[in-house]
Amino acid sequence: MHTRSGDAARPIAAQPARSQCPHCLRPQRSCICQWISPHTSQVEVLILQHPLEVHQAKGSARLLHLSLSPSQLVVGEQFEAAQLEQLLAGPRRNILLYPEMPGEQSLGMASAQPLDPAWLQEPQQLRLIVLDGTWRKSRKMLYLNPALQSLPRLPLKATPPSHYLIRKAHLPDQLSTLEATVYALAQLEQAAQRYDGLIASFDGFVAQQAAFMPPLPPRSDN
Ligand SMILES: [Zn+2]
């Protein structure tokens, strides 16, 4: 544990920049680059990452971005309208990976456009927008960015149980960002096994993170 109180007394490098891996942005000792599993998708992926997720050791969005091409990762909570417009610019069609929730209109949010089934015939013309944050944070991102609200949404069809056992905040039916995105890609591209290698690598990442963490208390549910 670091405390700030003693910093002034240290002669040099009071706040030493721990050597950081330039790719995964983690300390070298916990670098996750060995779990990068290069995959090319037909659908382009745009990950909008909540700022509080950037240094979450358990976060999977950066691993997803490093593994997947074409993909982009942009950090922010409320984006400038012009920036978002640029990120969502054509020719690809944008789909938001997010369920339609009751009560959105009563919050003043725009209704999502229906997803045109014809779009699903051309996955190479699609861009999947993924919000990386806890449930509450991703909901706030949606609320703060009107341009996202009206995008057609992709509800995930039945997905396998999460491999993600390291994050207590996750509900049993909540997937990591990496898993949710990979299953959405498999659904959109109708390629059930295309990303199995990525999920296998993710298992290695999960095991590495678990080794850094104290054991979870026993679960009483299921
Ligand atoms: Zn690394």
Which residue's structure tokens are 């003693």?
6
- Residue 203 forms part of a structural domain: yes
Ligand 1 center from residue 98 Cα (angstroms): 29
Of 217, 185, 213, which is closest to residue 199 (Cα–Cα)?
A: 185
User: 167-178, pLDDT tens digit by residue?
Assistant: 554 554 578 999
Ligand 1 center from residue 54 Cα (angstroms): 14
Ligand 1 center from residue 21 Cα (angstroms): 5
- Residue 217 forms part of a structural domain: no
Ligand 1 center from residue 63 Cα (angstroms): 9
Ligand 1 center from residue 82 Cα (angstroms): 32
**How far apart are alpha carbons 188 and 40 in whole angstroms?**
14
pLDDT at residue 52, as a whole number:
94
- Residue 110 forms part of a structural domain: no
Ligand 1 center from residue 31 Cα (angstroms): 4
Q: Distances in Å between the alpha carbon of 118 and those of 64, 121, 123, 156, 188?
A: 27, 5, 10, 18, 12
Ligand 1 center from residue 211 Cα (angstroms): 17
Ligand 1 center from residue 121 Cα (angstroms): 36
* For range 130-152, the mean pLDDT: 94
Are the C-beta atoms of 16 and 6 separated by less than 8 Å? no
- Residue 1 forms part of a structural domain: no
Ligand 1 center from residue 174 Cα (angstroms): 26
pLDDT at residue 166, as a whole number:
54
Is the pLDDT confidence value at 43 over 70? yes
- Residue 17 forms part of a structural domain: no
Q: Where do the DSSP E strands lie in the chain?
A: 39-49, 68-75, 93-96, 126-132
Are the C-beta atoms of 60 and 54 separated by less than 8 Å? no
The residue segments making up the domain with residue 184 are 35-104+115-209
Q: How far is CA 63 from the centre of its chain?
A: 9
Q: Distances in Å between the alpha carbon of 108 and those of 99, 103, 104, 150?
A: 17, 9, 7, 12
DSSP state string for 45-87: EEEEE-GGGTT-TT--HHHHHHHEEEEEEEE-SS--HHHHHHH
User: 95-118, pLDDT tens digit by residue?
Assistant: 999 988 777 878 888 889 999 999
Confidence band for 4, pLDDT divided at 50, 70 and 90 = very low
Total number of domains constituting the chain? 1
Ligand 1 center from residue 24 Cα (angstroms): 4
The order of strands in the sheet holding 93-96 is 68-75, 39-49, 126-132, 93-96
Share of the chain above pLDDT 90, in %: 64
Is the pLDDT confidence value at 8 over 60? no
Ligand 1 center from residue 210 Cα (angstroms): 17
Helix axes 177-188, 196-212, angle to 10 degrees: 170
- Residue 30 forms part of a structural domain: no
- Residue 144 forms part of a structural domain: yes
Are the C-beta atoms of 135 and 173 separated by less than 8 Å? no
Ligand 1 center from residue 77 Cα (angstroms): 25
One-letter identity of residue 212: F
Who wins on pLDDT, 174 or 123? Answer: 123
Ligand 1 center from residue 27 Cα (angstroms): 8
- Residue 27 forms part of a structural domain: no
